[in-house]
Amino acid sequence: MNKDEIIQIHQFLLYVLKYIETEEKMHKTCNDYISLDIRPHHIQKTKAAHKHAIFILSYTISQVIQEKDEKSLPSNVKSALNEVIIKSKKEMEEKAESDN
């Protein structure tokens, strides 16, 4: 998948999150995503950074869905997404070290 497609998915997931989560809860729910400081319009960010943002958004969306209806999402989905986030973060750190 090329970077443009990754950015489009990033934007789509952000729309999904804004649709399912209320504005006042957004800041509490999205701390991990907000702290990344990576938004879809940040095209200068790396493909890996946008992928990491996608994984964090996916995890956040799964949390919101599970809060609204615990039975609608298998419990292993959140744990699998969390593992992907950890792996993605590690890959980003390794890439940053190799670039320096």
Q: What is the CATH number of the domain that holds 60?
A: 1.20.1270.110
Q: Using one digit for the tens of pLDDT, what is the confidence trace for 82-95?
A: 899 999 989 888 87
The predicted-structure confidence for 52-64, as pLDDT tens digits, reads as follows 999 999 998 888 8
Rounded CA gap, 42 and 29, in Å? 22
Q: What total of structural domains would you count in the chain? A: 1
For the whole model, what pTM was predicted? Answer: 0.82
Q: Label residue 41 by pLDDT band (50, 70, 90).
A: very high
Q: Give the CA distances from residue 49 to residues 24, 73, 80, in Å, rounded to whole numbers and listed in that order.
A: 26, 26, 19
